[in-house]
Structure 1
Amino acid sequence: MALLAPAFALAGCDGGKDDSQPGIVTNILDDALPNAQQPPPPDNAIVPAEPLPDIPQPEDSAESSIPAPLLGRWTGAAETCGDRAAALELTVTPDRLIFHESEGRVTAVKGQEDGRVRVTADFTGEGESWTRTLEMKPSADGRRLTIVNDGASVTRKRCN
């Protein structure tokens, strides 16, 4: 019982205290100036321009999607399909280019008259991010895909 006496004494110290504190102002400005209004801006003040008009955005169209003949899994011409460690492995979806160590979110697609497709994508990989435009061209039979990146050309074969 002697051990519990200090605990009871401390608990009793706060027992009669009232939590409300009349006369204490929590927001001094609201209490001191209850009807205050903003003064007019000075003559040399920078006044914001009118808000921009609401311009409707175009709906998603084929111009932001990679065409169907390019979709699927691809790998290097000398690599084995299904080898996830293949350096030239590529999965193409309508809105993504998924390489071995990076992934690009497609932002624009533009078809060319000769069958090439220019794809611009925002890439991330290995802790970095960048934007790149690639030229992609499928072979006539659709079994090969040539990608030109910064002047360098790589041909891949279709895996599915």
Structure 2
Amino acid sequence: MRLSTIALVALLAAGCAAPHDDAADAPSTDSPATATSTPDAASSDSEPARTTVPAQFQGEYATDTRACNSPAHESRLTIGAWRIKFHESSGAIVAVESGRNALTITAELTGEGKTREATYRFNLSDDGQILTDRDSGMKRQRC
């Protein structure tokens, strides 16, 4: 009986020292992203690319004041540090490229029962109040 107790204690202790699991290092959707995207040619090989949206781009946007006052308006867009949310889809941001007033976001979006990866390109006005989608031309004001 004593040998069984010692064996049980040894097994429990071994379970606490489980091998390293790379999946545990992946960022969750509720915590800051720590993954890196591919560095661009201008950065050094040892410098990771950013996956956090710069503060000047973060916020809530919609086409006009009335849309800003309607949380369910189809033009609503929320850009957070690590997540992006549209009217019918949202998800984790997996890559970010930014310049002074330009932002490119790649995100894993889930909506309407489907998951997809999408890339969005935005320009922010000099005063930080108008966000323009460079692909569609849609302009949204900061709410």
Matched, 1:152 2:139: no
More helix by share: 2
Matched, 1:96 2:80: no
Per-residue CA deviations over 1:9-66 (Å, capped at 9, x if unaligned) read xxxxxxxxxxxxxxxxxxxxxxxxxxxxxxxxxxxxxxxxxxxxx9xx9x93771011
Over aligned residue pairs, what C-alpha RMSD do you find?
2.4
Q: CA deviation at 1:83?
A: 0.1
The CA distance in 2 between the partners of 1:142 and 1:132, in whole Å, is: 24
- Greater RCO structure (CA 8 Å; 6+ sep): 2
- The amino acid that maps onto 1:111 is S
Aligned to 2:111: 125
Q: Mapping of 1:67-146 within 5 angstroms?
A: 67-77=54-64, 79-112=66-99, 115-146=101-132
Question: Scaled by the length of structure 1, what TM-score is found?
Answer: 0.56
Which consecutive unaligned segments of at least 5 residues does structure 1 have? 1-53
SS at match of 2:68: coil
- Percent of pairs identical after alignment? 32
Question: Scaled by the length of structure 2, what TM-score is found?
Answer: 0.62
Counterpart of 1:63 (choices 46, 50, 57) is 50
Decide whether the 8 Å contact of 2:101 with 2:126 is kept in 1: no
Q: Mapping of 1:4-19 within 5 angstroms?
A: none
> Which protein is bigger by CA-based radius of gyration?
1
Q: CA deviation at 1:82?
A: 2.4
Which consecutive unaligned segments of at least 5 residues does structure 2 have? 1-21, 27-32, 35-47
Decide whether the 8 Å contact of 1:77 with 1:155 is kept in 2: no
Q: CA deviation at 1:99?
A: 0.8
